[in-house]
Amino acid sequence: MDAWDIDIVLAASQKGLGAPPGLSILVASERAMKVFEARKTPPTSYYASWKKWLPIMKAYEAGKPAYFGTPPVNLIRAFHASLTQLTKTRHLQMEDRFNAHKKASARVRAIAAQLGMQTVARSEKESANGMTAVYYPEGVGASDILPRLAERGVILAGGLHSQIKDQYFRIGHMGVSVTNPERGDVDTLTTSLAEAVRDARASKAKASEVKQTPTSGLGVGSLSQTASISAASRR
């Protein structure tokens, strides 16, 4: 935060932190706290008001009981366990985790490029290390790719950006799926993606061939119509 001169960092417990969804993680700088303390208008939020939660936080830090609203104790304990794993695992330091995510991201982008797919991010510099957004191959859509991946045990998410949400999908590669390579999650992902794209293209090509091939029924229909016209002319 100091290096980037950031005052507020807001995240969710499932966003690369390895905990179940449900918690909002917020970190504020001293400068942000001073701005909050000096504000003239009251916060518009009730449950998310710092004015109500800060006394609770300070009381707990002092070892004193305090209450404003019932916290999600199970999620807080899960978050604590996740942070312990992230910071206390001796054989895997934070820098190792960053590098593992960077390598996994590069690998996913590489397989996407091999399959003829473009990433939504226009350059590697703009790409995230925990998720890759990829445009569907030309002529192939969500209904062609995502169900085939699901059949292989790989669940991916559709697009979110309203203007192009039907044109791309999202691949998450973070947490244990990256830091525990023995699970083989990234291997399964890349193999399944290649197979799904191959099968989808083959299915499209086959459907196109069937559509273009004339059937005998059309010929019979034409002959029948000709016979009817001929008989009518004789009358």
Written as one string, the DSSP assignment of 205-232 is HHHHHHHHSPPHHHHHHHHHHHHHHHHH
- Count of domains for the chain: 2
pTM of the model: 0.75
| 204 plus 107 within the same structural domain | yes
Cα separation, 92 vs 99, in Å, equals 11
Q: Does residue 207 lie within any of the structural domains?
A: yes
Decide: 189 and 173 in contact? Cβ < 8 Å. Answer: yes
| 157 plus 60 within the same structural domain | no
| 19 plus 49 within the same structural domain | yes
| 117 plus 33 within the same structural domain | no
Cα separation, 37 vs 43, in Å, equals 11
Q: Which residue segment(s) compose the domain that 125 sits in? A: 94-212
Cα separation, 160 vs 164, in Å, equals 8
Instruction: Please give the chain's pLDDT, 235 residues, in tens.
Output: 889 999 999 999 988 888 999 999 999 999 999 999 999 998 888 888 899 999 998 998 999 989 888 889 999 999 999 999 888 888 888 899 999 999 999 999 999 999 999 999 988 888 999 999 999 998 889 999 999 999 999 999 999 999 999 999 999 999 889 998 899 999 999 999 999 999 999 998 887 777 776 655 544 444 344 444 344 444 4
DSSP letter (8 states) at residue 42: P
| 77 plus 105 within the same structural domain | no
| 99 plus 81 within the same structural domain | no
Cα separation, 98 vs 10, in Å, equals 19
| 191 plus 117 within the same structural domain | yes
Q: Please state the separation of Cα 6 from the chain's center in Å.
A: 25
pLDDT at residue 215 in the model:
56
Backbone angles phi, psi at 90, to 5 degrees: -70, -40
Amino acid of residue 213: T
Instruction: Please say which residue of 88, 121, 139 terminates a domain.
Output: 88
Decide: 68 and 56 in contact? Cβ < 8 Å. Answer: yes
Which CATH number is 147's domain given? Answer: 3.90.1150.10
